[in-house]
């Protein structure tokens, strides 16, 4: 009876300790400023493009609406990470409560799924635009765009609700997470109870949320390449201008997922701590930072609107100063 009571006490975890942080001394204020600058840059660039797309009627097209959904997701994922990270940098005790840990897992994982599914939807949109230009407006209606965006977000939330519920139901024998934020895989590894259901659900969720979008992206780009080889120069230029930032975003996202997988599944103790932390956070930092830059510079309509907005701001400032 006493042994059973000890076992019950060992599973009552109220907080997790994040052990990937290391003592930086007074340098923590420098790290705080750097991370804060990155977060401000992410907020400013993504909010700017969201406002530009929403305020400019000429940008109310399927491609730009999908981009708007992507930029909203970048803000959502970044907000789940950066404020928490800033507090941890200044803190001497790196702990996180169990409810907040699972909330962070939910936000970060759902953001990653939204990102990938949104990229798949955008590749489908480019496929229709390039392969069926005359039928594009009838195939990609505003109603269909709205449905695709809603399904993208609803699917991500539904999948991750299942993941977090199963993980939060586990009995845990420890509270040490060797990471700078909460990761579902690390939590499941602490389980005393059977994790077979978690593993089966994780395999199903990965297949449905990762492999299906990747297959769709691969299929659409094979079709786009076939059309480009036999199309006019103008069609090829259109394909390059619209697909280049999308491909760059997809490659960057893939690198981020690869780094995250390596960090959680393999022993990375031989790598310096700073580099290991950066690689684990690559997806959360670089993706929301690069996406608005890539699309803002590559998409001529967005670029021209930004120029007009900046010119108008300068003119207004100059007029008021006179």
Residues 183-235: tens digit of each pLDDT = 998 899 999 888 899 999 988 998 888 899 999 999 999 988 888 877 777 77
Q: Which residue has the higher pLDDT, 154 or 311?
A: 154
For the chain, the average pLDDT equals 85
11 pLDDT exceeds 90?
A: no
* Structural domain includes residue 8: no
What is the pLDDT, as a whole number, of residue 245? 85
CATH number at residue 307: 1.20.1070.10
116 pLDDT exceeds 90?
A: yes
Closest CA to 112 of 160, 57, 64, 167: 160
> pLDDT-derived band of residue 72, with 50, 70 and 90 as boundaries?
very high
For residue 119, give its domain range: 14-321
119 pLDDT exceeds 80?
A: yes
Could you report how far apart the first and last alpha carbons of the chain are, in Å? 85
* Structural domain includes residue 264: yes
* Structural domain includes residue 272: yes
| Average pLDDT over every residue of 24-36 | 87
262 pLDDT exceeds 90?
A: no
Distance of alpha carbon 280 from alpha carbon 261, whole angstroms = 9
Q: Of 18-22, 33-37, 135-139, 143-147, which gets the smallest average pLDDT?
A: 18-22
* Structural domain includes residue 138: yes
* Structural domain includes residue 117: yes
* Structural domain includes residue 6: no
Task: Give me the number of domains the chain comprises.
Answer: 1
pTM of the full predicted structure? 0.88
Q: Token pair 């670029």 is at which residue?
A: 303
Closest CA to 260 of 109, 135, 158, 125: 109
Contact predicate 286/252, CB 8 Å? yes
312 pLDDT exceeds 60?
A: no
* Structural domain includes residue 74: yes
311 pLDDT exceeds 70?
A: no
> pLDDT-derived band of residue 179, with 50, 70 and 90 as boundaries?
confident
> pLDDT-derived band of residue 317, with 50, 70 and 90 as boundaries?
low
What is the pLDDT, as a whole number, of residue 3? 38
313 pLDDT exceeds 60?
A: no
* All residues at 6 or more sequence positions from 100 whose CB lies less than 8 Å from its CB, including other chains: none
* Structural domain includes residue 7: no
If DSSP codes are grouped into helix, strand and coil, which group holds residue 156? helix
Above pLDDT 90, what percent of the chain? 40
| Average pLDDT over every residue of 34-42 | 94
């Amino acid at each position: 009876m006493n042994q059973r009571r000890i076992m019950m006490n060992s599973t009552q975890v109220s907080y997790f300790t994040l052990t990937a942080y290391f003592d930086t001394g007074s340098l923590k204020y420098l790290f705080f400023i750097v991370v804060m600058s990155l977060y401000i840059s992410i907020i400013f660039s993504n909010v700017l493009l969201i406002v530009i797309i929403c305020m400019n009627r000429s940008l109310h097209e399927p491609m730009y609406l999908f981009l708007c959904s992507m930029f909203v997701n970048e803000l959502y994922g970044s907000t789940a990470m950066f404020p928490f990270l800033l507090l941890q940098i200044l803190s001497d005790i790196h702990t996180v409560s169990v409810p907040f840990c699972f909330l962070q897992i939910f936000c970060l994982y759902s953001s990653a799924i939204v990102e990938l599914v949104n990229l798949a939807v955008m590749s489908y949109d480019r496929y229709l635009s390039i392969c069926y230009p005359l039928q594009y407006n009838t195939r990609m209606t505003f109603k269909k765009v709205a449905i695709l965006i809603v399904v993208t977000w609803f699917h991500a939330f539904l999948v991750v609700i299942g993941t977090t519920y199963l993980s939060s139901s586990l009995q845990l024998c420890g509270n040490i997470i060797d990471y700078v934020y909460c990761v579902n895989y690390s939590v499941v590894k602490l389980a005393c109870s059977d994790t077979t259901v978690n593993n089966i659900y994780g395999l199903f969720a990965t297949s449905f949320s990762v492999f299906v979008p990747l297959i769709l992206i691969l299929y659409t780009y094979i079709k786009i390449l076939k059309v480009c080889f036999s199309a006019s120069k103008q069609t090829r230029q259109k394909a390059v201008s619209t697909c280049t930032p999308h491909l760059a975003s997809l490659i960057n996202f893939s690198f981020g997922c690869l780094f995250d997988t390596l960090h959680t599944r393999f022993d990375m103790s031989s790598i310096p701590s700073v580099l290991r932390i950066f690689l684990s956070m690559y997806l959360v930092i670089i993706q929301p930072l690069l996406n608005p830059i890539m699309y803002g510079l590559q998409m001529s309509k967005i670029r021209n609107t930004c120029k007009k907005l900046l010119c108008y701001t300068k003119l207004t400032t100059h007029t008021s100063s006179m």
